[in-house]
Amino acid sequence: MDATRNIVILTGAGISAESGLATFRAEDGLWEEHRVEDVATPEAFARDPVLVQRFYDMRRAGVLAAQPNAAHHALARLDRDWTGDLLIVTQNIDDLHERAGAHRVLHMHGEALGAWCTACDARHRWTEPLSDNPPCPACSEGALRPDIVWFGEMPYGMERIFAALADADLFVSVGTSGAVYPAAGFVQAAAEAGARTLELNLDRSLGSRLFDETRLGPASTLVPAWVEEVLAR
Protein backbone atom coordinates (compact mmCIF):
# COMPACT_ATOMS: atom_id res chain seq x y z
CA MET A 1 0.00 0.00 0.00
CA ASP A 2 1.45 3.35 -1.02
CA ALA A 3 2.30 5.53 2.03
CA THR A 4 0.55 8.61 0.61
CA ARG A 5 -2.00 9.90 3.11
CA ASN A 6 -2.01 13.69 2.96
CA ILE A 7 -2.22 15.50 -0.37
CA VAL A 8 -1.98 19.22 -1.10
CA ILE A 9 -2.94 20.35 -4.60
CA LEU A 10 -2.20 23.86 -5.91
CA THR A 11 -4.20 24.97 -8.93
CA GLY A 12 -3.72 28.00 -11.17
CA ALA A 13 -5.35 29.58 -14.19
CA GLY A 14 -4.27 26.68 -16.41
CA ILE A 15 -6.82 24.31 -14.86
CA SER A 16 -9.62 26.67 -15.95
CA ALA A 17 -8.18 27.47 -19.41
CA GLU A 18 -10.15 24.64 -21.05
CA SER A 19 -13.29 26.06 -19.44
CA GLY A 20 -12.71 29.18 -21.53
CA LEU A 21 -11.31 31.41 -18.76
CA ALA A 22 -8.22 33.37 -19.82
CA THR A 23 -4.92 32.75 -18.08
CA PHE A 24 -2.66 35.66 -17.15
CA ARG A 25 0.68 35.28 -18.88
CA ALA A 26 -0.15 33.76 -22.24
CA GLU A 27 -0.02 35.93 -25.40
CA ASP A 28 -3.78 36.57 -25.19
CA GLY A 29 -3.61 36.58 -21.39
CA LEU A 30 -5.28 38.97 -18.99
CA TRP A 31 -2.04 40.80 -18.25
CA GLU A 32 -1.49 41.39 -21.95
CA GLU A 33 -4.70 43.43 -22.11
CA HIS A 34 -4.52 45.19 -18.75
CA ARG A 35 -1.59 46.42 -16.69
CA VAL A 36 -1.65 44.74 -13.28
CA GLU A 37 -0.97 48.08 -11.62
CA ASP A 38 -4.06 49.55 -13.34
CA VAL A 39 -6.59 46.94 -12.21
CA ALA A 40 -5.25 44.61 -9.52
CA THR A 41 -3.79 46.77 -6.71
CA PRO A 42 -5.36 48.76 -3.85
CA GLU A 43 -3.77 51.89 -5.35
CA ALA A 44 -5.53 51.23 -8.68
CA PHE A 45 -8.84 50.86 -6.84
CA ALA A 46 -8.31 54.13 -4.98
CA ARG A 47 -7.25 55.90 -8.19
CA ASP A 48 -9.94 54.60 -10.55
CA PRO A 49 -12.54 52.44 -8.77
CA VAL A 50 -14.86 52.24 -11.78
CA LEU A 51 -12.10 50.83 -14.04
CA VAL A 52 -11.22 48.21 -11.43
CA GLN A 53 -14.86 47.34 -10.71
CA ARG A 54 -15.54 46.96 -14.46
CA PHE A 55 -12.51 44.66 -14.85
CA TYR A 56 -13.85 42.37 -12.13
CA ASP A 57 -17.47 42.69 -13.33
CA MET A 58 -16.25 41.21 -16.63
CA ARG A 59 -14.35 38.41 -14.89
CA ARG A 60 -17.37 37.66 -12.62
CA ALA A 61 -19.62 37.37 -15.70
CA GLY A 62 -17.04 35.12 -17.37
CA VAL A 63 -16.94 32.83 -14.33
CA LEU A 64 -20.73 32.55 -14.26
CA ALA A 65 -20.78 31.61 -17.96
CA ALA A 66 -18.00 29.00 -17.66
CA GLN A 67 -18.42 25.31 -16.84
CA PRO A 68 -16.07 23.00 -14.90
CA ASN A 69 -13.93 20.80 -17.16
CA ALA A 70 -12.70 17.19 -16.74
CA ALA A 71 -9.83 18.36 -14.54
CA HIS A 72 -12.16 20.04 -12.05
CA HIS A 73 -14.41 16.97 -12.03
CA ALA A 74 -11.45 14.66 -11.46
CA LEU A 75 -10.28 16.67 -8.42
CA ALA A 76 -13.86 16.67 -7.08
CA ARG A 77 -13.87 12.86 -7.43
CA LEU A 78 -10.57 12.68 -5.53
CA ASP A 79 -12.02 14.96 -2.82
CA ARG A 80 -15.02 12.63 -2.51
CA ASP A 81 -13.08 9.34 -2.49
CA TRP A 82 -9.80 10.23 -0.78
CA THR A 83 -9.88 9.11 2.89
CA GLY A 84 -6.68 10.94 3.89
CA ASP A 85 -6.21 14.69 4.26
CA LEU A 86 -6.69 16.68 1.07
CA LEU A 87 -6.54 20.42 0.45
CA ILE A 88 -7.08 22.03 -2.94
CA VAL A 89 -5.39 25.44 -2.68
CA THR A 90 -6.46 27.48 -5.67
CA GLN A 91 -5.05 30.78 -6.93
CA ASN A 92 -8.14 31.03 -9.13
CA ILE A 93 -11.06 33.30 -8.34
CA ASP A 94 -13.55 31.12 -10.24
CA ASP A 95 -15.84 28.65 -8.45
CA LEU A 96 -15.32 25.77 -10.90
CA HIS A 97 -13.79 23.46 -8.27
CA GLU A 98 -16.89 23.89 -6.12
CA ARG A 99 -19.31 23.59 -9.03
CA ALA A 100 -17.61 20.29 -9.95
CA GLY A 101 -18.38 19.13 -6.38
CA ALA A 102 -15.11 19.69 -4.51
CA HIS A 103 -15.42 20.82 -0.89
CA ARG A 104 -11.89 20.93 0.55
CA VAL A 105 -11.01 24.09 -1.43
CA LEU A 106 -9.17 27.23 -0.26
CA HIS A 107 -9.18 30.35 -2.45
CA MET A 108 -5.93 32.05 -1.49
CA HIS A 109 -6.55 34.96 -3.91
CA GLY A 110 -10.24 35.41 -3.05
CA GLU A 111 -13.30 34.81 -5.22
CA ALA A 112 -14.89 36.62 -8.18
CA LEU A 113 -18.31 35.77 -6.69
CA GLY A 114 -17.51 37.51 -3.42
CA ALA A 115 -18.05 41.14 -2.41
CA TRP A 116 -16.42 42.72 0.63
CA CYS A 117 -17.80 45.83 2.30
CA THR A 118 -15.04 48.32 3.08
CA ALA A 119 -17.42 50.11 5.47
CA CYS A 120 -18.63 47.26 7.71
CA ASP A 121 -16.28 44.40 6.71
CA ALA A 122 -19.21 42.11 5.81
CA ARG A 123 -18.64 39.62 2.98
CA HIS A 124 -21.38 38.58 0.60
CA ARG A 125 -21.79 36.09 -2.25
CA TRP A 126 -22.15 38.39 -5.26
CA THR A 127 -23.10 37.62 -8.87
CA GLU A 128 -24.14 41.09 -10.10
CA PRO A 129 -21.97 44.02 -11.25
CA LEU A 130 -20.32 46.19 -8.60
CA SER A 131 -19.47 49.10 -10.92
CA ASP A 132 -22.91 50.65 -10.25
CA ASN A 133 -21.98 50.86 -6.56
CA PRO A 134 -24.83 48.81 -5.05
CA PRO A 135 -25.53 49.19 -1.31
CA CYS A 136 -24.03 46.65 1.08
CA PRO A 137 -26.87 44.31 2.21
CA ALA A 138 -25.54 44.57 5.79
CA CYS A 139 -24.91 48.30 6.27
CA SER A 140 -26.45 49.91 3.14
CA GLU A 141 -23.23 51.81 2.44
CA GLY A 142 -22.11 51.92 -1.21
CA ALA A 143 -18.69 50.57 -0.25
CA LEU A 144 -18.48 47.09 -1.76
CA ARG A 145 -15.24 45.93 -3.45
CA PRO A 146 -14.43 42.60 -5.08
CA ASP A 147 -13.34 40.06 -2.43
CA ILE A 148 -10.13 39.51 -4.37
CA VAL A 149 -6.56 39.59 -3.00
CA TRP A 150 -4.75 42.28 -4.99
CA PHE A 151 -1.00 42.58 -5.45
CA GLY A 152 0.46 43.93 -2.24
CA GLU A 153 -2.31 42.39 -0.12
CA MET A 154 -1.95 39.29 2.08
CA PRO A 155 -3.33 36.09 0.47
CA TYR A 156 -6.02 34.24 2.42
CA GLY A 157 -5.44 31.07 4.44
CA MET A 158 -1.65 31.15 4.61
CA GLU A 159 -1.47 29.54 8.09
CA ARG A 160 -3.77 26.70 7.02
CA ILE A 161 -1.84 26.24 3.77
CA PHE A 162 1.59 26.00 5.43
CA ALA A 163 0.20 23.63 8.08
CA ALA A 164 -1.12 21.37 5.30
CA LEU A 165 2.21 21.56 3.42
CA ALA A 166 4.09 20.59 6.60
CA ASP A 167 1.96 17.41 6.83
CA ALA A 168 1.89 16.62 3.11
CA ASP A 169 3.14 13.33 1.65
CA LEU A 170 2.35 14.53 -1.88
CA PHE A 171 2.20 18.03 -3.41
CA VAL A 172 0.70 18.39 -6.88
CA SER A 173 0.75 21.65 -8.86
CA VAL A 174 -1.72 22.00 -11.74
CA GLY A 175 -1.81 24.79 -14.34
CA THR A 176 0.32 27.46 -12.74
CA SER A 177 3.37 29.27 -14.09
CA GLY A 178 5.16 29.56 -10.75
CA ALA A 179 5.48 33.29 -11.39
CA VAL A 180 3.78 34.64 -8.26
CA TYR A 181 4.72 34.16 -4.62
CA PRO A 182 3.83 32.90 -2.04
CA ALA A 183 2.19 30.14 -4.17
CA ALA A 184 5.37 29.63 -6.22
CA GLY A 185 7.22 28.72 -3.00
CA PHE A 186 4.80 25.99 -1.87
CA VAL A 187 6.72 23.26 -3.72
CA GLN A 188 9.85 23.99 -1.68
CA ALA A 189 7.89 23.97 1.62
CA ALA A 190 6.35 20.62 0.67
CA ALA A 191 9.71 19.13 -0.36
CA GLU A 192 11.32 20.32 2.90
CA ALA A 193 8.52 18.50 4.75
CA GLY A 194 9.45 15.31 2.89
CA ALA A 195 6.60 15.30 0.38
CA ARG A 196 6.95 14.02 -3.16
CA THR A 197 6.20 16.76 -5.68
CA LEU A 198 4.48 16.47 -9.06
CA GLU A 199 3.74 19.18 -11.64
CA LEU A 200 0.94 18.80 -14.21
CA ASN A 201 1.18 21.67 -16.69
CA LEU A 202 0.85 22.55 -20.36
CA ASP A 203 4.39 23.99 -20.48
CA ARG A 204 7.38 23.77 -18.15
CA SER A 205 6.84 26.35 -15.42
CA LEU A 206 9.41 28.63 -13.81
CA GLY A 207 9.62 26.16 -10.94
CA SER A 208 9.68 22.89 -12.91
CA ARG A 209 13.22 22.06 -11.81
CA LEU A 210 11.99 22.04 -8.17
CA PHE A 211 9.58 19.15 -8.78
CA ASP A 212 10.39 15.44 -8.52
CA GLU A 213 8.31 14.90 -11.65
CA THR A 214 6.73 17.11 -14.35
CA ARG A 215 4.10 15.84 -16.78
CA LEU A 216 3.33 18.13 -19.73
CA GLY A 217 -0.08 18.34 -21.37
CA PRO A 218 -3.58 19.79 -20.94
CA ALA A 219 -5.08 19.53 -17.45
CA SER A 220 -8.24 17.89 -18.81
CA THR A 221 -6.08 14.91 -19.83
CA LEU A 222 -3.37 14.83 -17.16
CA VAL A 223 -5.52 15.38 -14.05
CA PRO A 224 -8.10 12.61 -14.62
CA ALA A 225 -5.28 10.16 -15.45
CA TRP A 226 -3.37 11.13 -12.29
CA VAL A 227 -6.51 10.85 -10.07
CA GLU A 228 -7.18 7.39 -11.53
CA GLU A 229 -3.58 6.42 -10.65
CA VAL A 230 -3.76 7.75 -7.07
CA LEU A 231 -7.13 6.14 -6.30
CA ALA A 232 -6.00 2.81 -7.77
CA ARG A 233 -3.01 2.53 -5.36
Nearer to ligand APR, 114 or 175 (CB): 175
Nearer to ligand APR, 19 or 53 (CB): 19
**Under rule CB under 6 A, residue 16 binds ligand APR:** no
**Under rule CB under 6 A, residue 173 binds ligand APR:** no
Closest CA to 193 of 159, 172, 164: 164
200, β-bridge pairs: 174, 215
Residue 118: CB atoms within 10 Å: 11
AA identity, residue 112: A
Helices (H), 40-95: 42-47, 49-65, 70-81
**Under rule CB under 6 A, residue 13 binds ligand APR:** yes
Using the contact rule CB under 6 A, the part of the chain among 11-19, 42-50, 79-87, 114-122 near ligand APR is 11-19
**Under rule CB under 6 A, residue 106 binds ligand APR:** no
Q: How far is the CB of 206 from ligand APR (least distance, A)?
A: 8
38-44-50-51 Cα dihedral, nearest 10 degrees = 0
DSSP annotation of 154: P
- Residues 86-105 within binding reach of ligand APR (CB under 6 A): 91
Q: How far is the CB of 1 from ligand APR (least distance, A)?
A: 30
Nearer to ligand APR, 6 or 16 (CB): 16
Closest CA to 6 of 182, 176, 194: 194
Using the contact rule CB under 6 A, the part of the chain among 13-21, 53-61, 78-86, 191-199 near ligand APR is 13-21
34 is catalytic: no
Closest CA to 225 of 8, 78, 110: 78
Task: Report CA-CA distances (Å) from 55 to 61, 67, 71, 118.
Answer: 10, 20, 26, 18
Using the contact rule CB under 6 A, the part of the chain among 95-103, 121-129, 170-178, 185-193 near ligand APR is 170-178
Among residues 8, 219, 226, 227, which is the contact residue for ligand APR, using CB under 6 A? Answer: 219
124, β-bridge pairs: 115
**Under rule CB under 6 A, residue 205 binds ligand APR:** yes
Q: Which residue is nearest to ligand APR (CB)?
A: 14
CB 175 within 8 Å of CB 91: no
Give me the active site residues, please.
Answer: 109
